[in-house]
Chains A and B, each alone.
Chain A
Amino acid sequence: MPKHGQELIARLEDEALKIRRHLIRMIYQAGSGHPGGSLSATDVIAALYFHVLNVDPENPSWEDRDRFVLSKGHACPAWYAALAERGFFPIEELDTLRKIGSRLQGHPDMRKTPGVEASTGSEGQGLSVGIGIALAAKLDRRSHRVYVMVGDGENDCGQTWEAAMAASFFKLDNLCAIVDRNLMQLDGPTKHIMSLEPLADKWKAFGWKVLEIDGHNFKEILKAFDKAESVKGEPTVIIARTLKGKGVSFMEGAVGFHGKAPNEEEYEQAMVELGGEP
């Protein structure tokens, strides 16, 4: 029997679909937000929260929990939806996204939202925060792991590479980065804005174990996380090839939905495509 059986895959696919429906509704109701990068990140986030991460929604600050940092903070609707579905806070609260007084800020606020491990939004800082968490785990001889999702555009940031250099120098094998390689950033295709290739070679040159996968294929996602956990003496980066806007036809590969909410018609069509009730 394969390690990641059909039942598990089907459950993760179901959770991912729920997350996609939530985040489209949340962004539609908020009237602003970032659907494209949230949808591309959804499958990896679903795999993390419904299989990989050892977390306790009843005790979000449990010291031995695995940590997830969303360095591309603008994709937080996907993160919030996963946290709510996992039981960190009530699902109804998702509809307060970006509204005054809400615990669900437009970009992640670790002081407000249960389960959010780092405040992010200004790009390029999350991997460094993850290094700090991973160093603390090593100092305390704790065995929990640290996962950081880095946006494709964050490969532009100098600090991402400062962090990449330091993580391998400090031999942080308890740290796993995931690049949400959706090939897009706000202004357009990454290859037109700031060319990143050969990206895998860059990470390799910075001392990382590099795994390249289809970021929408749960078998590949789970296999990569297993592999990352077995790597010793160096950090692992999973370059997850994804599709911006994945799951909603007119958002797929559309740069226009980087940071724009759907209108009513678009919302209804998106919900139909995602098998939900508008």
Chain B
Amino acid sequence: MNYGAWKKESQRTFWARALLELGRERKDIVVLSADLSTSVKTSVFAEEFPERHFNVGIAEQNMMSIAAGLAASGKTVFASTFAAFGTGRVYDQIRQSIAYPELNVKIVATHAGITVGGDGATHQIVEDIALMRALPNMTVVVPADAPETYLAIRAVADYVGPVYLRMGRVDVPTIASVEDDFELGKATVLRDGDDVTLIGTGVMVSRCLVAADELTKEGIDARVLNMSTIKPLDRDALIKAARDTRAVVTAEEHSVIVGMGAAVAMDLAESAHVPMKRVGIPDVFGESGDSDELMEKYGLTAENIIEATHDVMRRKGGAL
């Protein structure tokens, strides 16, 4: 499948831009880094507002609890690091210091998933959505592209409470525009259709759109939902899509057993019994490699979404 026609942009650049604007507009914005400020681009904020940026070194536990203290004193805190170190390494600090007291800390994680590439499995966290989704009081956001990342950062800054926002390392195809609306907790219908619903999150949303175009050639009319807020899940949009199209495919750059697809499957099991299939990383660790090659090897392409669609369409026909 050819993604060549799409413009690709950096989510990290748009996050840094939104953060810088917020810093200019609001004195309560404080930013924390853990020796990765140039990688996660909080360095852009630090350059203009050195007094409101604190680099704690390679001490993410300390960073998360410091974030809690700042938030308890009325600050809106953005704590940013790689997804692997911003979730698994500090789960207990997020749990006790941030989520339990419902403090206004935004954990902005970059380098999530296998598109990290060459750094390999230690850095390719595929279960961060699961960890954060399991926490009471936590909101989980996975923007689909760079402009949506910008909009989501602006939105989470206005929301009071803990948020986990996840993005990848590589530039991703741009499907939205910064002129669009973004509402926390709302899925957006990017393409209407009646035969099947493809629900994507993050980098997989563009793959869903490519798959939908291909499916048209086979006479399958696919609806595409961008599920950019994974918690709270937009159940209304999900159930409407399931009832309208009677078949659902989910796609995410995350472990299939515990991510967005699992959340969708749980909700559907309790509300709308339609054939569904999850596209995502199987229950395995990743490995080093080129991002695109890894996406292919681990089953995260438009072709994988098309295959999954064929499967749900067969079952939708009654041959369960």
Which residues of A approach B to under 8 Å, CB–CB? 63, 109-111, 117-122, 124-126, 128-137, 139-140, 158-159, 162-163, 165-166, 170
Cβ contacts under 8 Å, B74 to chain A: 63, 136
- CB-CB nearest in chain B for A110: B101
CB distance from A183 to the nearest CB of B (A): 26
Cβ contacts under 8 Å, B69 to chain A: 118, 128-136
Q: How far does the alpha carbon of A132 sit from the alpha carbon of B68 in the complex, in Å?
A: 7
From A122, A139, A162, A170, contact of B30 by CB (8 A): A139
Question: With A122-B92, A135-B54 given, is the CB distance from A166 to B72 under 8 Å?
Answer: no
Q: How far does the alpha carbon of A121 sit from the alpha carbon of B100 in the complex, in Å?
A: 11
Which residues of B approach A to under 8 Å, CB–CB? 30, 51-52, 54, 56-57, 59, 61-62, 64-75, 77, 92-93, 95-97, 100-102
Q: How far does the alpha carbon of A120 sit from the alpha carbon of B69 in the complex, in Å?
A: 12
From A117, A125, A140, A170, contact of B97 by CB (8 A): A125
Q: How far does the alpha carbon of A122 sit from the alpha carbon of B68 in the complex, in Å?
A: 14
Q: Are A166 and B59 in contact (CB under 8 A)?
A: yes
Question: With A119-B96, A119-B101, A122-B92 given, is the CB distance from A166 to B68 under 8 Å?
Answer: no
Question: With A119-B96, A122-B92, A170-B54 given, is the CB distance from A132 to B65 under 8 Å?
Answer: yes
Q: Which 4 A-B pairs have the closest CB atoms?
A: A132-B69, A128-B65, A136-B73, A162-B62
Q: Are B72 and A132 in contact (CB under 8 A)?
A: yes
* Extra 11 A-B pairs, beta carbons < 8 Å, given A125-B61, A159-B65: A110-B101, A128-B93, A129-B66, A129-B69, A130-B69, A132-B77, A135-B54, A139-B51, A139-B52, A162-B57, A162-B59
Q: How far does the alpha carbon of A109 sit from the alpha carbon of B103 in the complex, in Å?
A: 12
Interface of B, helix, strand, loop or mixed by DSSP: helix
Cβ contacts under 8 Å, B77 to chain A: 132
- CB-CB nearest in chain A for B68: A129
27 contacts between A and B (CB under 8 A): A111-B102, A118-B72, A118-B101, A119-B100, A119-B101, A125-B61, A125-B93, A126-B65, A128-B61, A128-B64, A128-B66, A128-B93, A129-B72, A130-B69, A132-B65, A132-B71, A134-B69, A135-B30, A136-B30, A136-B73, A136-B75, A137-B73, A140-B73, A159-B93, A162-B59, A163-B62, A166-B59
Cβ contacts under 8 Å, B54 to chain A: 135, 170
CB distance from B244 to the nearest CB of A (A): 41
- CB-CB nearest in chain B for A148: B69
CB distance from B73 to the nearest CB of A (A): 3
Looking at B67, B69, B72, the one whose CB has the most chain A CB atoms below 10 A away is B69
Q: How far does the alpha carbon of A133 sit from the alpha carbon of B92 in the complex, in Å?
A: 20
Q: How far does the alpha carbon of A133 sit from the alpha carbon of B77 in the complex, in Å?
A: 12
- CB-CB nearest in chain A for B62: A162
Cβ contacts under 8 Å, A133 to chain B: 69-70, 72-73
Question: With A125-B97, A139-B52 given, is the CB distance from A132 to B70 under 8 Å?
Answer: yes
- CB-CB nearest in chain B for A133: B69
Cβ contacts under 8 Å, B102 to chain A: 111
Cβ contacts under 8 Å, B56 to chain A: 162, 166
Cβ contacts under 8 Å, A120 to chain B: 96
Cβ contacts under 8 Å, B97 to chain A: 118-119, 125, 128-129
Q: Are A131 and B96 in contact (CB under 8 A)?
A: no
CB distance from A81 to the nearest CB of B (A): 22
Q: How far does the alpha carbon of A139 sit from the alpha carbon of B72 in the complex, in Å?
A: 14
Q: How far does the alpha carbon of A116 sit from the alpha carbon of B73 in the complex, in Å?
A: 13
Cβ contacts under 8 Å, B93 to chain A: 125, 128, 159
Q: How far does the alpha carbon of A136 sit from the alpha carbon of B105 in the complex, in Å?
A: 14
Cβ contacts under 8 Å, B92 to chain A: 122, 125
CB distance from A64 to the nearest CB of B (A): 11
Cβ contacts under 8 Å, B59 to chain A: 159, 162, 165-166
- CB-CB nearest in chain B for A120: B96
- CB-CB nearest in chain A for B54: A135
